[in-house]
Amino acid sequence: MHIAVCVKQVPDTSEISIDPETNTLVREGVAGTMNPFDAWAIEAAVRIREQCGGRVTALSMGPPQAESVLRTAMALGADRGVLLSDRAFAGADTLATSYALAMGLRALSQVDLVFCGKQAVDGDTAQVGPGIAAQLDWPQICFAKRIVSSGNGSITVERSAESGSDIVTSSLPCVVTVVKDIHAPRFPSLGRQLFARNSGVTVWGAGDIGADPGRCGLTGSPTWVDGIFAPPKREGGRIVRGDLRLLTDAFIAGVQAVSLPPGGNDNA
């Protein structure tokens, strides 16, 4: 079984903010890191490889420095890292990103199963996983919380649903996005860390994967950012200090203002 995992290098979002005076981005030494959900996706792929055999390829799209996210993926268990990097990919929205990744997956030999994290924490869109499935015309399973079984040309998964969850079975090939309820990633062994450090990362441009430049990057993106601004600040409220009576009074008054029935108070 050949399993591909799509990973993304994201800025550490805690370090990015906006200056409300000047409306400019404030970034102080923002380093790239692996999107946290992607580590869960790699672990899901590695577990299936351990049961069914095969190999795991990590795939990313990004600038040359995104190579480091593929080394992280190899340390976590991927056998190979492939980076799609080309000026033509710059400025891609989720449609152009899913197109490029789908073309990259087509260029890999015979992929049976694709895992993605449920979303990336920089954009939080959760659109690229189902977008890849649509580009490839493959079935999709979004927000998987447990792999029940896999092999023999199908995969059975417990996926999240509004009113609980469903057990679903899809034929392969298929795209699966995972939430964090699935197996936690393992700590990379020394051997894996050495493997990641010493392995090369394959870099492909738009031409290598036969991508139409008109469907890539900013040119192939129907949406774009028209402007950025600081989020509306919630008015900081009343600060209360004092003895226990005063503090609990303030709490109770606050709860009463919400117009909730005071639960558990049948005797009052």
Partner 1 sequence: MPDRNTSGLIIHEERCAGCELCLPACPFGALSMRGGTASVDQSVCTLCGACVKQCPAGAIELIRTSRMAVNPGDWSGVWVYAETVDDAFHPVVFELLGAGARLARSRGAVLTAVVLADMDESRLSPLFLHGADRVILAGHPELSLYRDEPFARILVRLVRTYRPEIVLAGATTVGRALIPRAATMLGTGLTADCTGLEIDPETGNLLQTRPAFGGNIMARIVCAGHRPQMATVRPRVMEAAPIDPGRAGGEIVRFEPGREDLASRLVIDSVLRRQEGGLNLNASDVIIAGGRGLGGPDSFRMLADLAEVLGGTVAASRAAVDAGWISADRQIGQTGKTVAPKLYVAVGISGAVQHVVGMSSAETVIAIDKNPSAPIFGTADIGLVGDLFEIVPGLIRRYREGTFA
CA distances from residue 46 to 77, 108, 118, 264 in whole angstroms, order as listed: 6, 18, 17, 48
- Is position 189 an interface residue for partner 1 (rule: CB under 8 A)? no
User: How many other CB atoms are there within 10 angstroms of residue 147's CB atom?
Assistant: 21
Nearer CB in complex with partner 1: 180/195: 180
Nearer CB in complex with partner 1: 179/195: 179
- Is position 87 an interface residue for partner 1 (rule: CB under 8 A)? yes
Structure-token pair, residue 96: 């152009």
Considering only residues 3 to 32 of the shown chain, the ones binding partner 1 according to CB under 8 A are: 11, 13-14, 16-19, 24-27, 30
The minimum distance between CB 195 and partner 1, in angstroms, equals 27
Nearer CB in complex with partner 1: 79/112: 112
- Is position 91 an interface residue for partner 1 (rule: CB under 8 A)? yes
Structure-token pair, residue 80: 């190979």
- Is position 190 an interface residue for partner 1 (rule: CB under 8 A)? no
- Is position 261 an interface residue for partner 1 (rule: CB under 8 A)? yes
Q: How far apart are CA 60 and CA 64, in angstroms?
A: 11
The minimum distance between CB 230 and partner 1, in angstroms, equals 7
Site for partner 1 (CB under 8 A): which residue of 51, 55, 125, 197?
Answer: 125
The minimum distance between CB 207 and partner 1, in angstroms, equals 14
Q: How far apart are CA 42 and CA 178, in angstroms?
A: 10
Contact between residue 211 and residue 99 where contact means Cβ atoms under 8 Å apart: yes
Q: How far apart are CA 213 and CA 179, in angstroms?
A: 32
Residues touching partner 1: how many (CB under 8 A)?
A: 105
Stretch of residues binding partner 1 (CB under 8 A), selected from 67-75, 83-91, 187-195, 200-208? 83-91
Q: How far apart are CA 83 and CA 7, in angstroms?
A: 10
Torsion angle, CA of 21/25/29/32, rounded to 10 degrees?
A: 160
C-alpha R_g of the chain: 23
Considering only residues 43 to 82 of the shown chain, the ones binding partner 1 according to CB under 8 A are: 63-65
Nearer CB in complex with partner 1: 198/265: 265
Stretch of residues binding partner 1 (CB under 8 A), selected from 68-76, 103-111, 140-148, 195-203? 140-148
- Is position 160 an interface residue for partner 1 (rule: CB under 8 A)? yes
Q: How far apart are CA 109 and CA 100, in angstroms?
A: 16
- Is position 153 an interface residue for partner 1 (rule: CB under 8 A)? no
Q: How far apart are CA 73 and CA 38, in angstroms?
A: 9
